[in-house]
Amino acid sequence: MNHARTVHASHFFNTLLVQGYDGFLDAYDEHKELLLEYIRDGAVSKADIDELVGRQPDEFLWDIVFVDEGQDWPSNEIEILRAVYGPERIAVADGVDQFVRDSVADWSRGLLREQIRPRRLTRCLRMKANLALFVSDFAAAIALHDWDLEPNPDANGGRVLIVEGDLAARPDIYERLCDEAAALGNYPVDLLACVPPQLVRHIGDDVFSVPGRTLLENGKAVWDASAIDVRSHFPTDRDALRIVQYDSCRGLEGGLLSTTGSTSSGGISTSSGSPLRRPPAVCSTHPKSGLRLLPPDGR
């Protein structure tokens, strides 16, 4: 009987490396580099790895390993994964248009051409056609010339709503969108809001997004994952809107997605003034049927 299991990368490497979570993430990079050093030097051999796999088959004995969001994997994790399974047993979903780190992971490095079987997929299956067309135009307007997105003609519809002004003064907009979602059997937790770093505040130990705090002050529930302690736990309140920063939207989606601080006139500016064009475009690919854009004036 076929069996599949979803495993987060940190869980996989924790089980492989140290067998315990106490302080593991605090020294995550050090643990990976140490294991990689052992593998390269031969202190951990292929026989040692095979013995571990045989001893813990539920954790490691897999015929095929499917990697999601492969564009953001660090090179040391790629090398360790290859050491355990070999490149021929690894299938990578590599969304090169969605990378949020400094560089795109290179899964082909060190491999022979015959060991690689690429399949380039350009049709957008998540979004309805109107949204895909808008996102493609949006990417071109903010100079993402390498964007490659083909609308799915079988997924008709999709709505783009651009809101100008202070969101705090228009709670009716959020209430209306929630009502529309409820009519379709959805809840606020099924929606997703993305904010840039400029709209996240750090006041002592209190970390929050400006839009999230605004909604709270208007009596709305939020799961504000701009704070790392919130982000470490899944949302459990179906009436709470999910809020993440642009670079944390990877792997998430919503029936309707709201981006705050979006602009088509040059992207978002970082505190140093350099353009940060890719994150708002990346997060705009995460709705299924609706996209709401708010202006870049911090409201």
Tokens linked to 32: 């990976």
For domain 129-293, give the CATH superfamily: P-loop containing nucleotide triphosphate hydrolases (3.40.50.300)
Tracing tokens 């904010």 back to the chain, one arrives at 195
Q: What pLDDT score was predicted for residue 249?
A: 59
The CATH 3.40.50.300 domain(s) of the chain lie at 129-293
* Phi, psi dihedrals of residue 64, rounded to the nearest 5°: -130, 140
Rounded alpha-carbon distances, angstroms, from residue 217 to 39, 110, 158, 282:
53, 54, 30, 29
Q: Considering only CA atoms, give the Rg of the chain.
A: 21
* Interatomic CA distance for residues 14 and 44, integer angstroms: 16
Task: Decide if 193 contacts 211 (C-beta within 8 A).
Answer: yes
3-state secondary structure of 115: helix
C-alpha 62/C-alpha 41 separation (Å) is 26
Length of the chain: 299
pLDDT (0 to 100) of residue 222? 92
* Cα pseudo-dihedral 200, 267, 97, 8, rounded to 10: 0
How many CB atoms neighbour CB 295 within 10 A? 16
Q: CA-to-CA distance for 27 and 48, rounded, in angstroms?
A: 23
Q: Which pLDDT belongs to residue 167? A: 61
Strand partners, 222: 241
Question: Is the distance from CB of 225 to CB of 194 less than 8 angstroms?
Answer: no
Q: In a structure prediction context, what are the per-residue pLDDT tens digits for the chain, which is 299 residues long?
A: 456 666 566 556 666 665 555 666 677 888 888 888 989 998 888 898 888 888 888 888 889 999 988 887 889 999 999 999 999 999 998 766 555 555 678 899 889 988 989 888 778 777 788 888 888 888 788 777 767 778 888 888 888 887 777 665 677 888 888 898 889 888 888 888 888 888 889 998 889 988 888 888 888 899 998 888 887 788 889 999 888 887 655 555 555 556 665 443 333 322 222 333 444 444 444 444 555 555 444 33
Task: Please compute, for residue 180, the number of CA atoms within 13 A of its CA located in the half-sphere on the CB side.
Answer: 12
